């Protein structure tokens, strides 16, 4: 498989198929990041499109020294999500409190079935709901580390904060998330 | 000196990610194993991390990549071959519909008596003829079905009439645990029963032949 950096170089020379390959390779990652932040598939889809549009326009500013294309992509996505969060928070200042908190979509059945996929889906919904109750700083740290699997140094680059702060946020986020899940009655699996 | 609850909480992620030194890990465990507050916390966070890491990525909306490419590269000429539709058709909602349509077409095809290539004329494509043909085929199929059910009923009747006449014989021949308790059947009664049953069966067979005669 061709490296991302080579694909970027080909994109900069105007190679359409190279861009198509980059998009197809990273769509799932970007979409999931957006979904975990917004808890809404429609918003996540729109934001993913925005992310790639921004990436396409600023591709020339990408440097391999930055720490790999996925890290840069995550960083751009995160910045856009922060903008989106601020924008939506401003828009919702007059809304009711329950509207401000991210709400998990009603796409998961509340009925437990013995099917493994259904159980995994329910757990995913519960985690998503619990993530929505975390503060944005802790939430993004947890998503990047435990759901996107980024290294501490990559998170440090994406969030532009010292490594000590990254570790502290992740640790606090995990404890807080476990407490919320406990309160929600999510037992051992 | 053993660690405090605050220290254990602060270094919990390091412990779970195996980033503590041997000495630190020993201190951590010494406190966590004996503290009624920290022990459940460690177990809880450890379990939650396992759940988080086991979570699968959410499925991406099917047209998302295409939308992104359309927005960036502009509307592209579709370069699909006929095989590219296979994954789309393989999805349950399309596959179910497709199978239903095919089954319906097959039923209609059979109901109209099929298409005979050698005798195919323009009139065969006339909707009126197709409907008339389907109608007559449907009536024919219904009549055949009714006849089949009636025949089946007669066969069952014959069987049930024959059963009392024939079932007595093996019962008598079968070895019994207490043969002395069984009374031998009245021979004349049995003969009368057999004769009567055969007469009824003969009448039924005659009746069936009359009915099935064109």
Query: Closest-CA residue in chain B for A127?
Result: B52
Chain A residues touching B56 at Cβ < 8 A: 120, 124
- ipTM, two decimals, is 0.72
pLDDT of residue B92: 73
Q: How high is the pLDDT of residue A102?
A: 43
The helices-and-strands tally (H runs, E runs) of chain A is 9, 0
Encoded tokens for B23: 């000495």
Q: Which of A31, A174, A186 sits opposite B60 (nearest CB)?
A: A31
CB neighbours of B41 closer than 8 A, spacing ≥ 6? Answer: A175, A178, B8, B9, B12
d(CA A39, nearest CA chain B) in Å? 11
Interface test with chain A among B48, B70, B73, B79, by most A beta carbons within 10 Å: B48
Residue B73: the pLDDT is 85
Q: Do B48 and A181 touch (CB under 8 A)?
A: yes
Give how far B27 is from chain A: nearest CA, Å. 19
Which residue out of B12, B39, B60 would a mutagenesis test of the A interface target, given it has the greatest number of A Cβ atoms within 10 Å? B60
Candidate from B45, B48, B57 with C-beta closest to A28: B57
Q: How many whole angstroms separate alpha carbon B207 and alpha carbon B196?
A: 17
Q: Does B47 touch chain A (CB under 8 A)?
A: yes
Residue from the list B41, B50, B68 with its beta carbon closest to the beta carbon of A49: B68
Confidence (pLDDT) at B189: 53
Give the A:B interface size as CB pairs under 8 Å.
94
pTM comes to 0.56
Three-state SS annotation for B44-79: HHHHHHHHHHHCCCCCCCCCHHHHHHHHHHCCCCCC
Cβ <8 Å between A52 and B71: yes
When CB atoms are compared, the residue of B58, B61, B72 closest to A52 is B72
Spans of chain A, pLDDT less than 50: 94-113, 189
pLDDT at B177: 41
Tokens for B193, please give them: 């029963």
Per-block mean pLDDT, blocks of 10 residues, chain B (214 long): 88 92 92 92 91 85 91 72 66 81 83 62 77 85 91 87 60 44 50 61 72 60
Within 8 A of B17 by CB-CB distance, chain A residues are none
In this complex, the residue of B13, B51, B69 whose CB is nearest that of residue A170 is B13
Contacts of B14 in chain A (CB under 8 A): 167, 171
**Residue to substitute from B7, B54, B55, B67, interface A, most A β-carbons within 10 A:** B55
- Interface residues of A toward B, Cβ cutoff 8 Å, are 16, 19-20, 23-24, 27-29, 31-32, 35, 41, 45, 48-49, 52-53, 56, 120, 123-124, 127, 142, 146-147, 167, 170-171, 174-175, 177-179, 181-182, 186, 188-189
């Amino acid at each position: 498989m061709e490296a991302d950096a080579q694909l970027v170089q080909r994109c900069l020379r105007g190679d359409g198929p190279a861009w198509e390959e980059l998009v197809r390779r990273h769509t799932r990652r970007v979409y999931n990041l957006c979904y975990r932040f917004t808890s809404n598939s429609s918003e996540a889809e729109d934001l993913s499109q925005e992310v790639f549009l921004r990436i396409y326009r600023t591709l020339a500013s990408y440097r391999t020294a930055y720490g790999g294309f996925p890290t840069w992509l995550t960083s751009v996505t995160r910045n856009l999500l922060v903008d989106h969060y601020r924008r939506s928070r401003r828009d919702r200042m007059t809304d009711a409190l329950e509207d401000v908190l991210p709400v998990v979509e009603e796409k998961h059945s509340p009925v437990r079935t013995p099917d493994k996929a259904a159980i995994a889906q329910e757990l995913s919904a519960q985690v998503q709901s619990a993530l929505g109750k975390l503060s944005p700083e802790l939430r993004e740290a947890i998503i990047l580390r435990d759901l996107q699997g980024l290294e501490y140094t990559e998170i440090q680059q994406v969030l532009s904060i010292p490594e000590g702060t990254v570790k502290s946020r992740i640790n606090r986020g995990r404890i807080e998330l476990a407490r919320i899940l406990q309160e929600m009655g999510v037992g051992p699996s | 000196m053993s660690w405090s609850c605050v220290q254990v909480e602060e270094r919990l992620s390091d412990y779970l990610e195996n980033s503590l030194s041997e000495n630190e890990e020993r201190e951590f465990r010494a406190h966590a194993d004996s503290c009624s507050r920290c022990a459940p916390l460690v177990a809880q966070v450890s379990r939650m991390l396992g759940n988080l890491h086991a979570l699968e990525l959410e499925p991406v909306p099917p047209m998302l990549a295409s939308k992104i490419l359309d927005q960036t590269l502009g509307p592209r000429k579709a370069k699909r071959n006929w095989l590219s539709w296979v994954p789309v058709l393989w999805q349950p909602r399309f596959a179910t519909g497709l199978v239903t349509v095919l089954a319906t077409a097959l039923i209609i095809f059979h109901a109209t008596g099929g298409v005979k290539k050698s005798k195919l004329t323009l009139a065969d494509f006339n909707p009126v003829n197709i409907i008339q043909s389907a109608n007559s085929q449907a009536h024919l199929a219904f009549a055949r079905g009714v006849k089949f059910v009636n025949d089946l009923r007669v066969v069952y009747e014959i069987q049930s009439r024959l059963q009392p006449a024939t079932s007595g014989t093996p019962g008598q021949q079968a070895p019994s645990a207490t043969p002395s308790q069984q009374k031998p059947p009245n021979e004349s009664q049995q003969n009368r029963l057999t004769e009567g049953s055969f007469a009824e069966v003969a009448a039924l067979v005659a009746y069936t032949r009359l009915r099935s005669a064109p």
